[in-house]
Amino acid sequence: MNQPELGRRLTALRKEKNLTQEELVEKSHVSVRTIQRIENGEVLPRMSTVRILLEALGESYESFSSKSNQVMETHKTTLPNASRNTLLIAAVAGAVYLVSEIILGAMDVAWFTSDRSWGFRMNAIYTGLTVLMVVAYGLFARGFIALSDLFGNPLLKVTAYMLIVFTASLGILDVSTLSAEEFDTIWIYYGAAAVIAGVLSIVFGVSLIRLQDGMGELSRIAGLLEIVLGCMLVTVFLFFMAYVVMIPAVALEILLLYRGYEYLSRTESPQVW
């Protein structure tokens, strides 16, 4: 069986037996670091190690292998909806989105602190970057929709679609405010947008944490950062400070998508353990 599928199955079995990693260490005498690396899909263990862990978990090698084969067959039916290309494109798009979002954030600060009259050239640059950001985010979010199909996480899929719609709407708001004459009402719109973005980020963070069994510790950390980001946005007053958290959060999500790409790559190249 491939990694990280083996790690996912062992993690699920351990949790099914209501054992922590430390308790499994005591029962199997396998080091906690080795167990962590196996469960996170970082190493492909020797068959003898797998047998020792299964014996400690009260599961026969034959039964585990049979169940694993059934899981692999199930995953094969979902691979078309979560193709490697989709995840790779999403990871690249995520990098484009992150860079464009940072540039747009800097331009937003410059616009609010200036006389707010950029002229045609600067408005065109801002509009072009906004369109690029929205398109890149749409491709970026498609990667999480693919992961939701692969790991059976409907909350992630729904939230990703909602974030695509929200990001597009926010882009329209950003461009429309370039020609706004009344600035007092702008803060009301952006305050409401910050609250909505915060709620969506919190839900998105929860859905990422639910990927932990399949994608490892990286998804949990990314999820926690999204929750922190969401809490900051909901306050509205910490809106601009939220950019500090947004950068590492998106960076980890890009790595998460690339790990999903590697997962599918390994699944299409069978190995024996």
How buried is 270 (Cβ within 10 angstroms: 0-12 exposed, 13-18 middle, 19+ buried)? exposed
Q: Does residue 73 carry a pLDDT above 70?
A: no
Calpha distance 186→245 (Å, rounded): 24
Of the candidate ranges 40-49, 61-70, 123-132, 211-220, the one whose mean pLDDT is the lowest: 61-70
Angle subtended at Cα 240 by Cα 171 and Cα 190, rounded to the nearest 5 degrees: 45
Highest-scoring range by mean pLDDT, 34-48, 114-128, 160-174, 205-219: 160-174
Q: Does residue 82 carry a pLDDT above 60?
A: no
Could you identify the residue written with the tokens 């679609």?
Answer: 161
Within 10 A of 151 (CB to CB), how many other CB atoms are there?
20
Residue 141's pLDDT band (boundaries 50, 70, 90)? very high
Could you identify the residue written with the tokens 């899981």?
Answer: 71
Q: Taking residues 181-200, report their average pLDDT.
A: 83
Tokens (6 digits) for 152: 């059976």
Of the candidate ranges 16-25, 114-123, 134-143, 145-154, the one whose mean pLDDT is the lowest: 114-123
Residue 186's pLDDT band (boundaries 50, 70, 90)? confident
Q: Does residue 62 carry a pLDDT above 80?
A: no
Q: Taking residues 22-47, report their average pLDDT.
A: 85
pLDDT at position 72, please? 47
Q: Which percentage of the chain shows pLDDT scores above 90?
A: 40
pLDDT at position 237, please? 81
* Cα-Cα-Cα-Cα dihedral sign, residues 113, 119, 121, 126: positive
Q: Does residue 78 carry a pLDDT above 50?
A: no
pLDDT at position 80, please? 44
CA dihedral of 69, 71, 73, 77, whole degrees rounded to 10: -170
Q: 273: which DSSP letter?
A: -
Residue 270's pLDDT band (boundaries 50, 70, 90)? very low
pLDDT at position 170, please? 93
Q: Does residue 169 carry a pLDDT above 80?
A: yes
Orientation angle between helical segments 5-16 and 47-56, nearest 10 degrees: 20
Angle subtended at Cα 258 by Cα 165 and Cα 265, rounded to the nearest 5 degrees: 120
**Of 215, 251, 257, 250, nearest to 90 (Cα)?**
257
More confident residue, 212 or 163: 163
Q: Does residue 268 carry a pLDDT above 90?
A: no
| Domain 5-78 fold | 434 Repressor (Amino-terminal Domain) (1.10.260)
Q: Give the CA count within 13 Å in the CB-facing half-sphere of 261.
A: 17
Max CA separation in the chain (angstroms): 73
Q: Does residue 236 carry a pLDDT above 70?
A: yes
Q: Does residue 183 carry a pLDDT above 70?
A: no
pLDDT at position 143, please? 94
pLDDT at position 74, please? 47
Rounded to the nearest integer, the mean pLDDT of the chain is 83
Q: Does residue 242 carry a pLDDT above 70?
A: yes
Calpha distance 199→157 (Å, rounded): 16
How buried is 116 (Cβ within 10 angstroms: 0-12 exposed, 13-18 middle, 19+ buried)? middle
Residue 227's pLDDT band (boundaries 50, 70, 90)? very high
E-assigned strands of 193-239?
A: none
- Three-state SS for 244? helix
Calpha distance 157→149 (Å, rounded): 8
Q: 240: which DSSP letter?
A: T
- DSSP of 112-130: HTS-S---HHHHHHHHHHH
Could you identify the residue written with the tokens 């709407």?
Answer: 169
Tokens (6 digits) for 48: 């003898």
> What value does the CA radius of gyration of the chain take, rounded to a whole number of Å?
22
Calpha distance 142→218 (Å, rounded): 19
Instruction: Name the residue type at position 140.
Output: F
Q: Does residue 272 carry a pLDDT above 50?
A: no
